Chain A
């Protein structure tokens, strides 16, 4: 501990909210040394970002209040220095990068201007700053640095923006880089590149890194040490290997056992009849081909996963099948009716048989409707179950089926947690007794532990009720646990299709292989092996 560069000691922060005081973090202590990467791992609401915000003096006080503790850097307590002194350290000695760089970059100034400002704000001459900015933009892998300097944040892709953020953070060669969920919004292949870049840059500069994340895979890939947080408290500290292989705290044990991608792979029942036959589905937006002739079959009780990175066309596929968008050409035969061309009346019948679960339940549930109204709406639309008492009974049954309780029936969506809301959305889909449920990233907005529960719930429904699933996802671990067949998509085309086992254990196409390689395994040993294999090759 003596060589620690930055030490947080017994930090307690309260948030004063409408519903009383919340202890955001209690007695949190950690430290990071030169050249070391410390990961702070936690789910939403664990308080994992709070201590870093305190380090950067970014907490809004009030409603936050620093109750006790100290943050030591170069012998000074950062909680006691003057705002001006603190400002002088920010960016220069301790820099920070964030999730979602689009929101975190100023939309009205060019990225060059913003990167240069990092140095000019600390009194360095502008021409020097410009030179260094050009160097760093090239270093983080942005083509044509001169041109890039003049462009605005919205003109870059998500991965490029994060690279530019990193370039900005490194302008003054800081001692410490704090990265708050730096790769969460990125595709897996981009995530792997950004993490690799961070590691290289750390090796070059010897800076310390504090990485805040919810992703065990990221921890396994990059961290030297990890602190696990739950409900504002550090529950466990250790190396990633210790924590992964021998978790001591029950919370950590639960978290690790919930990590996806470790279950038994499911096998397709090849005797089932075909339910949906998609042929050469095509969709173009302007001059962007979202779908370039997609064909596949889906059988009764099958769970078909569609994986791909952003822009691969996987969501467009769902939207055209559900007629939320009109396909340009192609067919989708659902029991001999072509979903793409049938009229409104027939479509109504289909709309009962095919249901959808959306990514974010906060948005897919009307906030002004009670749970009862939400679930019963389908019956209103399709004129089913006219008997009020029966309806209520059935709603309660459905709630119990998805792991909620009768008492929840008259509440409103905002009174539930994210995972519970997704259960309500699933209950709503089940109310019409569908034969197919299309899940569009249905678990990606949920915390890992909740994710595992929802996936288990969906799988149970599939087995008990014989419902088919089209499961659109970018998280390969979840797909491996849930699907029996996988379609890999890229740029509007199916790259590879096959049984889950084959796709994961013996991928044929290079793209699938790259995708799998980029997917981070929560086991540090597996990640280490992969890295070793890469350097050998």
Chain B
């Protein structure tokens, strides 16, 4: 018996490389993480640091073309139609853009995952009611929700979060429910049941930890989606209203100047693409990194000719 224990398999004490060093190995995912970090820092300190520059109008700097340092670094990316620094505005807009996306994901994730856990674990009837509710939300035109909320409650960042969160809840709900339906049949859940574990315990200790990595991955992906959705609403004029700014609103404001000053709409759009792309890249990396069964793919160095 002792021999089995000292066998080769029991010496696997190492847990493999840390997540951070795995991230470093995947250069694309690593760059994405850095870009996101920079954007988050900008979103955090941008408004306090650059709030004044971003709102300072300068009529001589109207539609000032980019890539010139004549008017100082603030105008390196050009000036907008009121002569405000594009760079400063982009950084300040990052704040609301990220805040809305983050808030939406947090709200939708919390509500959706909770409902999903209940729908997946509870009996057939409760589950049916919740799922039909999700169907209704899914088929409710999000534009209408936006107009209703903005008209009734007024345009503000919390209301924007509310609108977007409502439309995103079904995504988390469905994913969580599908996962729970699968996980609850797994043997270790049955084992816990046999030991007398309560439903709360089974959900919190056995099901939730297994579902979490999937939810984190989806949330990352969804963050990008929400950002695009917010930009679309703002672009259509039923999202954030001036003087608030988000990247989507900036694109919309730059649209009349497409012929003369392309950079007004181009830079904020590029920021959206860059952020969304980074999130997508990071999310697909996480899908592998957080799955113990697939993790080895990242632990090995990429071989040539593979």
Contact = CB atoms under 8 A, between A and B. Distances in A.
A144 B7 CA distance: 52
A364 interface: yes
B5 A405 contact: yes
A348 B196 contact: yes
Contacts of B152: none
Most buried by B among A62, A366, A403: A366
Interface string A139-153: 000000000000000
Contact of A411 (B13, B190, B191): B13
Interface residues of B, number: 33
A148 B193 CA distance: 42
Interface in A381-412: 381-382, 403-405, 408, 411
A487 B81 CA distance: 88
Nearest to A425: B191
Contacts of A16: 300, 303
Interface stretch (A3-11, A262-270, A413-421): A413-421
B195 A432 contact: yes
Interface string A329-367: 000000000000000000110011011101110011111
B141 interface: no
A405 B11 CA distance: 13
Contact of A18 (B5, B190, B193, B296): B296
B292 A367 contact: yes
B206 A366 contact: yes
Contacts of B198: 381
B186 interface: yes
A387 to B, nearest CB: 20
A158 interface: no
B13 A363 contact: no
Interface residues of A, number: 45
A359 B292 CA distance: 22
Contacts of A377: 192, 195, 197, 205
Contacts, number: 96
Interface in B214-251: none
B194 A356 contact: yes
Contacts of B205: 366, 369, 377
A416 B8 CA distance: 10
B190 A364 contact: yes
Interface in B171-214: 186-188, 190-198, 201, 205-206, 209-210
Interface of A: 16-18, 62, 322, 324, 347-348, 351-352, 354-356, 358-360, 363-369, 377-378, 380-382, 403-405, 408, 411, 414-417, 419-420, 425, 428, 432, 450, 453, 457
Interface of B: 1-2, 4-5, 7, 9-10, 12-13, 16, 186-188, 190-198, 201, 205-206, 209-210, 292, 296, 299-300, 303, 306
Given A358-B191, A428-B191, A457-B1, 5 more contacts: A62-B306, A351-B196, A356-B191, A358-B190, A380-B201
24 contacts: A18-B16, A18-B299, A62-B303, A351-B194, A351-B195, A352-B196, A354-B194, A355-B195, A358-B190, A364-B190, A366-B206, A366-B210, A369-B205, A377-B192, A378-B196, A403-B4, A404-B5, A414-B292, A417-B10, A420-B4, A425-B191, A428-B195, A450-B4, A453-B1
